[in-house]
Structure 1
Amino acid sequence: MLAPTRRVFLSGALALSIAPARAASTPLRVVASSLPHTEILEFVGEKLAPELPLKIIEISGDLRPNALLRDGDADANFFQHVPFLRSEEAAMGMRFAVVAAVHVEPLGLYSRRATSLAALPSGGAVALSNSVSNTGRGLSLLQANGLIRLRARDAGVDDIVENPKNFRFVEIAPPQLPRSLDDVALAVINGNYALEAGLEPARDALALEAAEGNPYANVLVTIEGLAKDSRVLRLGTLLTSAEVAGFIGHRYRGSVVPVRPS
């Protein structure tokens, strides 16, 4: 008999060969990154809904969770925000279904060379995500903190019109951003990768995005054919419950912020 929550770890070198699941009693296969997504799903499966069997597929490496969903190797995923999802849809030529907006992982500015933004050295390197949907987000955070000025919102590095500290910008893969801290003056790091690296965003970041009204909420996603699946809808309801909001608040202390309890 399957336990209510099972975790399977997959690296980019592995492939899935699991037949699509549809029956309500069949474990719902959810692809998730380790922090905070897998922990939140485990809380749901173990504490709130043991009657809803979840098979959590924890990912790392070069696996593309939306491709796994498209190919029928998973039923849902929980790792991304909507701007990233839309860029994936454009690249893949298909639409997915957003089931629920769960939490915000505020993007943060981190440094090992300065204890404040004012103390950042002139001419220093700033590491940004090379993900298109997060590059502009990072630049907007730098602008919000007075470090640069952009020509337009959601702009790229070429749209910087004021750079008083003459920062140099390097774009690297998001999972590598925490490792760049020893080599750059400042790194703009996604919340989940900061947590995985042992950072506590609410404590360690020199500046964080505001959570209220943030368009980068992480969402539960499925294919359109499963958008009304009872298991998927039940999970979406649980992920936006007051109980999950309380767990997020207690567990992550401001480093992850629930969108809203229902």
Structure 2
Amino acid sequence: MRKNIKLTAAAAATAALSLGLTACGTASDPGAQTDSGAKADASEALVVAASPTPHADILNFVKDKLAAKEGLKLEVKEFTDYVLPNTATQQGQVDANYFQHKPYLDDFNKKNKTTIVPVVNVHLEPLGLYSNKAKDIKDIKAGQTVAVPNDTTNEGRALKLLADNGLITLKAGAGNDAKLSDVQDAKGLKFKELEAATLPRALNDVDAAVINGNYAIEADLEPASDSLVLEKAEGNPYANFLAVKDGNEDDPRVRKLAKLLNSPEVKKFIEDTYQGSVVAAPGAAK
């Protein structure tokens, strides 16, 4: 497993970006947006909030290689957390975002009374179990500590991964939103709940950690080869998608970007760049 984990200054970057977005005075501002996305000015740049990897990488490929041919001006704003992209989209500071899956969005909308909606699926980042101490899942034993994401949907997803691979047993009926209290038999394991973005940095402090694909890649881990176990792509409900505030789905710029994100060129870019660590998942997200 690679040891040269790249540390992300999440707090500083997020704060700086938040200030920068507040100062924006484009058609993305709340007062400049009409009630219908279809009436948006197609000559204005579409501003999209995204996690750095792979989301911003994919968007920048579209921006550099494909957007001009479609007459699309694209601006990518990078965020290092899972909250600001949705709040910035809801408030009109950006036009769209690309960083999340449907279970996370549903939970976020419910808790924050936001009205963000998916537009089109783009890719899947398989969740994986990583360790700097164990070389095989069989090396994870009773008494050891496993770190998991502390947000509702990703914690449930992490626990399901552990259960599917025999490390724990979940109570009957525990679904995608399973919590630690739903662990029927921990088989002697201890758990540490951490913010998803910090999990790669915790690998030296715990015996293993379940890490989201984008944060694993940012930390120079290769999910396809470095993980002890990895989610299966087939039938996986956690595809990441382009999303907008409800009512803006028909913005002509959004439609152009959605088409490009599902293009053969983007699929090939994903396959060539990520070698199975990120999987193209075309199709409508709704």
Q: Are 1:177 and 2:195 an aligned pair?
A: no
Q: CA deviation at 1:237?
A: 1.1
Contact 2:119 2:249 in 1 (8 A): yes
Task: Give runs of aligned pairs for residues 199-214 of structure 1, distance below 5 A.
Answer: 199-214=221-236
Q: How far is 1:61 from its partner?
A: 5.4
Cα distance in 1 between the residues matched to 2:13 and 2:207: 33
**Residue matched to 2:162:** 142
Structure 1 unpaired stretches of 5+: 1-8
Is the CA contact (8 Å cut-off) linking 2:169 and 2:184 kept in structure 1? yes
Greater fraction of residues in helix: 2
Report matched runs for 1:91-240 at 5 Å: 91-151=111-171, 152-154=174-176, 155-164=178-187, 166-240=188-262
Q: Of the candidates 16, 20, 24, which is equivalent to residue 18 of structure 1?
A: 24
CA contact (8 A) 2:80 2:197 kept: no
Q: Secondary structure at the match of 1:175?
A: helix
* Cα contact 1:30–1:76 (8 A) shared by 2: yes
CA distance in 2 between counterparts of 1:222 and 1:62 reads 15
CA contact (8 A) 1:121 1:185 kept: no
Local SS of the residue matching 2:221: coil
For the residue of structure 2 that corresponds to 1:226, the secondary structure is coil
8 Å Cα contact 1:245-1:261 kept in structure 2: no
1:168 and 1:12 mapped to 2: Cα distance? 33
Residues 159-181 of structure 1: per-residue CA shift (max 9 Å, x gap): 111222x0101100001000110
Counterparts of 1:168 and 1:185, CA distance in 2? 10
User: Which deviations, in whole Å up to 9, do the C-alpha atoms of 1:196-227 show, x marking residues without a partner?
Assistant: 11101101001100111111110100012211
Q: Does the CA-based 8 Å contact 2:51-2:99 persist in structure 1?
A: yes
Structure 2 residue 68 is the aligned partner of structure 1 residue 45: no
RMSD value over aligned CA atoms? 1.7
Q: Map of 1:42-81 to 2, 5 A cutoff?
A: 42-50=60-68, 51-60=71-80, 64-81=84-101
Amino acid at match of 2:59: L
In the superposition, relative to structure 1, how do residues 225 and 153 fare at CA in structure 2: closer, same or farther (>3 Å)? closer
TM-score, normalised via structure 1 length? 0.92
Q: Distance in 2 between matches of 1:104 and 1:148?
A: 25
**1: distance between equivalents of 2:183 and 2:247?**
42
1:30–1:55 contact (8 Å) kept in structure 2: yes
Gaps of 5+ in 2: 1-11, 29-39
Percent identical: 44
Q: Distance in 1 between matches of 2:276 and 2:228?
A: 14
Q: Is the 8 A contact 2:51 2:81 kept in 1?
A: no
Per the alignment, residue 5 of structure 1 pairs with none
d(CA) in 1 for partners of 2:105 and 2:117? 10
One-letter amino acid matched to 2:258: G
Match of 1:6 in 2: none
Which of structures 1 and 2 has the larger relative contact order (alpha carbons within 8 angstroms, sep 6+)? 2
Matched letter for residue 66 of structure 2: L
Deviations 1:140-185 (A, max 9, x none): 0001111111012232111111222x01011000010001100111
Question: How far 1:122 sits from its partner (Å)?
Answer: 2.1
Write out per-residue CA displacement over residues 44-82 of structure 1, whole angstroms, 9 at most, x where no aligned residue: 111122231111011135861111011110000001111
CA separation of 1:161/1:261 partners in 2, compared to 1, >3 Å: closer, same or farther? closer
